Amino acid sequence: MYMKYLLIFLSAVVYISAGTVPPDTSRVPEFSVDEVIIYGETDVQRDKIPYQSPESALSKLSGINLISRGPLGMEPLINGFGDGAVSVTVDGMKIHGACVDKMDPVSSYIEPENLGKISTLTSHSGTGTAGAINFVTLKPDFSTPLSVISDNYYESNGGGVKTGTVVNYSAGDFAVRSSFTWRRLSDYSAGKNVYIPNSSYTKLNYKADISFRAFDDNMITLSYLGDDARDVGYPVLIMDARSAKASVISLGLAGESWSFVPGNNSLKLYYNKVNHLMDDYDRSLSEINSRIVMPGMFMPMTGWFETAGLLYGTIISDYESVFSVNLGLSNQISFADMKMISTTPGTPEMYLLNVGEAEEQSAALSVSYNREMVEDLYATFSGAIEQSFRKLVREDAASLNTIYEPDFTPEVQYLLPSFSADFKYIYSSDLTVGVQLSYNTRAPLFTESYGYFLFSPLDNSFYAGNSRLKKEQSVRISLETVRSFEYVDLTLKAFHLRFQDYIAGETLPGTQFWVGEIPFKQYINAGLAYSSGITASAGFDYRYFDGAFSVTWQEGYSEYFKDNLPFMAPVTAEFTLRFSEEKWYAKISALGTLKQKRVSTRLSYEQELPGHLLISTEAAYTVSEMLLLYLTAENIFDTYYVTRFTVNNFPARGRSVRAGLKFNFES
Amino acid sequence: MKYAIISFLLLLVLTVAGCKEDSNPVPPVINEVLPAIKVGEIFLAGAKVSLYADDSLRVGYNKIYVKLTDSAKGSILNDVELHVLPVMHMTTHTHSSPVQQPEICQCGLSPFGAVFQMPTSDAGEWSMRFTLNNKTQNRTEVGSVPFTVLNTSDTKVITGSDGTAYVLTYVPIKTPKVGINDISFYLHKRETMMEWPSVTNAEIFMTPDMPSMGHGSPNNVNPVHAGLGEYKGKVNFTMTGEWRITCQVNSGTDSLFTTSFTINF
Ligand SMILES: [Cu+2]
Ligand SMILES: [Cu+2]
């Protein structure tokens, strides 16, 4: 609490002292999108060293935290809210992981070699109730006849290696871009050299895009992305992924003249399928026999998630305004099941259907309009409406769901409206103020509606779906102001997010529902929940140096459960100092958190966390235009620490030194 | 005129009746589709008594069929009085088992139910004792058909806290499935070695669980008496595998006994 008042006070001081400078209208503010550029030549990418993973790029975005369950597949959260409340897309296409234990969030199927940028939206219509993340993949470049970029590294902790290569070739009206990435890690260690068993993985990723320019300005692009991860350890969970695969295919047409609709038209057909297989065969018999959930049995689980869809959009812009319309149609199907094979010979095998083919058809229409309203006041209005029809297809699954929900209804419809208004006022070239208001709704996840007997290690409970869940609603107000001085920018961001019909699990009464020691929960609409946060940051840029300092505070509370919301970040301060000149580049960063006492004890099973301080450094040397050598050292003091964003107080990675070289050839 | 009206009405009745196929006064025919197993047969009081079952007879509740035909003409006999009694001859003594008397069916195949509490073994053999009064010939005779009972664990004979021996029988669910299933039990008691009447006023508290996993299932419906000693309830199976159904049988507030059955699917 003191922190909150301190920040408000500090920011007030800064604003009062802001001088009045003549307005500068040459800056047309963009819609509020946070993004991190991964590949590509822009001045935003000041980090010279290639991102190790999509997660490491994601973590650069403000408000993003990642739940770590293992070395791969970290689940991104926006302001502490994850899957469901945050919708994740790849080039706007819907896609969802197939693991009911969330081992495979969408980010786990992508590699930095595929990515142009990652954007997050928090105050826009048509997102989840807490925001959206879109991974924008790179498309063939017509302006480069031939380029080869290759990033290769070795890292000390766990003996990780990676090789990733991107080739771009173009000739006339034809261009192709292809990437190949292979990553491998053996078991790593947490801080203080604590060995973590079952923490290795192997991952292969490939992408190919072929583009043709046809009929003047129009472009046809065929894209394929494949990802294949094997033997991925999830030390936090009771199982490891044996195989996690994704295939994403799309065919797009973009341009102005192919359609009778004015503006820049794009049409895309897409299909993706995610397959998941996990088991506990790598775990010791003593672990299997002594664990609290379903002891004494192996539990291989399978799951798949399939999406097919169509996206159409047009953007009509003139010098004063931008108007866009988007239409999306999609069909999604999800399945998950498991076997239970006793370690005691002679015990019959057991079988559980976890998601018996949940299916959804949805149609969404969204519009957005952006213009300068009055002098120096820019506004963006957006609205979206989505209608979804969903159903649990398999009858045996429906009869299972009836056990926990006697009034189970296999078919449900959701009408999901949303709208937003975003105002930005340019008081002067040194001072801008923005206000964003949004209302969003979301349908429950398939697992929330139809999941059956799903174990969550976060609160050590089994979960049953609830087919009659209402949509979750949220209202968000955000403020942002930037005050610029000669070498320093001060930014203050604050938000307040209120959920209505917040979806969470409530313990079913009576021990008849329990599974051994483990309670059974059912998803419900749990009334009002809210979260607020403030980030104050100062960025500076002076000659060869730049850097930033930021402090973030956040809290969340559920009125229904009288409990703090889970995954609220502790008070966190971050500091980075960067030096870059033509040949040399160096960066030091420090991240510290304060002790966290406000934790979620009913919705999750969080415990108080001590603070920690992490220091990391990196350096790079540009040998030539073709070669960059780099060295990074994460958690340089090998601190043993636990973040809020893990399960059962699992320790985070210890020190790791990574040495790599990036090769860049262009003709 | 009176006759004309009566004839007209008669004609009308006949015409209307003729429209309904099943009301045709066709003599009863023997159901040609006979149950799968023929247990045995005996000639008694001018009748051929044949015993059929859908499956091999086994410990537990069995549905049995008796077919009665005129031994000379082969036509269906239903003007009879028939009493059946399963009898087990053991080395030291003879006993009976719970049985429902057949209701003589026009169709020729009369079903009845019997609970066998022991399998055929070296210790004893089963036979079905018929007492048949063939009214058409006004003859009454008694005779027995031997049969074999296979072992299962669907029937439990337990001495209750009141000193009486009770017979609790689980009727196997035909095709157990995940989700809700109908489940039924028969409860009988031993009055004498030859009399095993049904118990109609007990309370059964049923608890399903998976012993290998240490969990049960919610929202089950305890079996309640539905006639002739049968108790019907509903059981939820949350997954496939081996389930144990524990029944606590009470009489009023007294717990008579507790026992369990195993279902694997
Ligand atoms: Cu998994
Ligand atoms: Cu089980």
Give residue-wise pLDDT tens across range B139-156.
999 999 999 999 999 999
Residue B262 contacts A where some CB pair is shorter than 8 Å: no
Tokens found for residue A80: 């502490």
The pLDDT assigned to A57 comes to 87
The pLDDT assigned to A243 comes to 97
Least distant ligand from the CA of A518: 2
Provide the CA B249 distance to its chain's centre, in angstroms: 21
A271 burial via Cβ count (<10 Å: 0-12, 13-18, 19+): middle
CA dihedral A38, A41, A46, A51 (to 10 degrees): 30
Tell me if A297 sits within 8 A of A289, measured CB to CB: no
The CA B13 to ligand 2 mean position distance, Å, reads: 63
Rounded CA gap, A380 and A375, in Å?
A: 15
Confidence of residue B82 (pLDDT cuts 50, 70, 90): very high
Mean per-residue pLDDT for A285-302?
Answer: 92
Strand partners, B81: B133
What's the farthest any 2 CA atoms get from each other in chain A?
84
Query: In which order are the strands placed within the sheet that holds A461-464?
Result: A452-456, A461-464, A520-525, A503-507
Q: Where are the alpha helices (DSSP H) in A26-134?
A: 54-58
**Using one digit for the tens of pLDDT, what is the confidence trace for A593-615?**
999 999 999 999 999 999 999 99
Contact B241 A402 (CB under 8 A): no
The residue ranges of every structural domain in chain A are: 2-666
Q: Is the pLDDT of residue B89 over 60?
A: yes
A52-56, A256-260, B117-121: range with highest mean pLDDT? B117-121
Strand partners, A422: A380, A436
Residue B179 contacts A where some CB pair is shorter than 8 Å: yes
A450 burial via Cβ count (<10 Å: 0-12, 13-18, 19+): buried
Q: Is the pLDDT of residue A23 over 80?
A: no
Mean per-residue pLDDT for A162-184?
Answer: 95
In whole numbers, what is the pLDDT of chain A averaged over residues?
Answer: 90
Tell me if A162 sits within 8 A of A663, measured CB to CB: no
Nearest to B169 by CA among B230, B121, B215, B221: B230
Which chain A residues are within 8 Å of B206, Cβ to Cβ? Answer: none
Residue B258: CB atoms within 10 Å: 14
Least distant ligand from the CA of B243: 2
Q: Cα dist. A149→A229, A264, B187 in Å?
A: 23, 31, 80
Confidence of residue B250 (pLDDT cuts 50, 70, 90): very high
Q: Which CATH class is domain B155-264?
A: mainly beta
Q: Is the pLDDT of residue B31 over 90?
A: no
The pLDDT assigned to B3 comes to 54
Q: Which of B179, B217, B239 sits opposite A350 (nearest CB)?
A: B239
The pLDDT assigned to A39 comes to 62
Tokens found for residue A304: 């798949």
**Using one digit for the tens of pLDDT, what is the confidence trace for B179-208?**
999 999 999 999 999 999 999 999 999 999
Q: Is the pLDDT of residue A124 over 80?
A: yes
The pLDDT assigned to A8 comes to 43
Helix (H, G, I), strand (E, B) or coil at A456: strand
The CA A225 to ligand 1 mean position distance, Å, reads: 21
Residue B133: CB atoms within 10 Å: 17
The model carries a pTM of 0.87
What architecture (CATH level 2) is domain B37-147? Sandwich (2.60)
The pLDDT assigned to A41 comes to 46
Shortest distance, CA B209 to any CA of chain A (angstroms): 10
* Pairs of residues, one from chain A and one from chain B, whose beta carbons lie less than 8 Å apart: 70
Residue with tokens 């946070």: A34
Q: Is the pLDDT of residue A227 over 80?
A: yes
Shortest distance, CA A663 to any CA of chain B (angstroms): 55
The residue ranges of every structural domain in chain B are: 37-147, 155-264
User: Which residues fall inside 5 Å of ion ligand 1, going by CB?
Assistant: A 99, 101, 103, 278
Q: 3-state secondary structure string, A189-224?
A: EEHHHEECCCCCEEEEEEEEEEEEEECCCEEEEEEE
In whole numbers, what is the pLDDT of chain B averaged over residues?
Answer: 88
Q: Is the pLDDT of residue B16 over 70?
A: no
**Sequence-distant (≥ 6) Cβ neighbours of residue A156 within 8 angstroms:** A655, A656, A657, A658
Residue A370: CB atoms within 10 Å: 21
Determine phi and psi for A622, rounding to 5 degrees: -90, 105
Strand partners, B172: none
Kind plus residue range of the DSSP H or E element containing A565: none
Which chain A residues are within 8 Å of B241, Cβ to Cβ? Answer: 340, 348-351
Is the dihedral angle over the CA atoms B235, B236, B242, B243 positive or is it negative?
negative
Tell me if B63 sits within 8 A of B81, measured CB to CB: no
Tell me if B167 sits within 8 A of B187, measured CB to CB: yes
Tell me if A105 sits within 8 A of A87, measured CB to CB: no
Tell me if A536 sits within 8 A of A549, measured CB to CB: no
Nearest to A265 by CA among A198, A311, A215: A311
The pLDDT assigned to A516 comes to 81
ipTM of the complex: 0.81
Contact A294 B213 (CB under 8 A): yes
More confident residue, A143 or A32: A143
**Using one digit for the tens of pLDDT, what is the confidence trace for A313-367?**
999 888 788 899 999 999 999 999 999 999 999 889 999 999 999 999 999 999 9
Residue B178 contacts A where some CB pair is shorter than 8 Å: yes
Q: Cα dist. A39→A43, A49, A58, A69, B250 in Å?
A: 11, 11, 13, 27, 75
Rounded CA gap, A12 and B106, in Å?
A: 98
Give the type of residue at A64: I
Helix (H, G, I), strand (E, B) or coil at B227: coil
Two domains, one topology: B37-147 and B155-264: yes
Q: Which of A349, A513, A516 sits opposite B241 (nearest CB)?
A: A349
Which of A108-117, A584-593, B178-187 bottoms out in mean pLDDT, i.e. has the lowest?
Answer: A108-117
**Using one digit for the tens of pLDDT, what is the confidence trace for A356-403?**
999 999 999 999 999 988 888 999 999 999 999 999 999 999 999 999
Strand partners, A228: A204, A245
The CA A344 to ligand 2 mean position distance, Å, reads: 14
Strand partners, A272: A248, A307
Tell me if A61 sits within 8 A of A36, measured CB to CB: yes
Eight-class DSSP state of B195: B
More confident residue, A659 or B18: A659
Confidence of residue A216 (pLDDT cuts 50, 70, 90): confident
Q: Assess if CATH 3.40.640.10 describes domain A2-666.
A: no
Mean per-residue pLDDT for B61-78?
Answer: 91
Q: Which of B178, B215, B216 sits opposite A396 (nearest CB)?
A: B178
Q: Searching chain B, which residue's CA lies closest to the CA of residue A353?
A: B239
Q: Is the pLDDT of residue A405 over 80?
A: yes
The pLDDT assigned to B137 comes to 87
More confident residue, A24 or A96: A96
**Using one digit for the tens of pLDDT, what is the confidence trace for A469-483?**
999 999 999 999 999
Q: Is the pLDDT of residue B97 over 60?
A: yes
Tallying the residues shown for chain B, one arrives at 265
Rounded CA gap, A298 and A282, in Å?
A: 10
Nearest to A536 by CA among A581, A587, A575, A594: A575
**Sequence-distant (≥ 6) Cβ neighbours of residue B137 within 8 angstroms:** B45, B46
Rounded CA gap, B246 and B259, in Å?
A: 6
Kind plus residue range of the DSSP H or E element containing A234: none
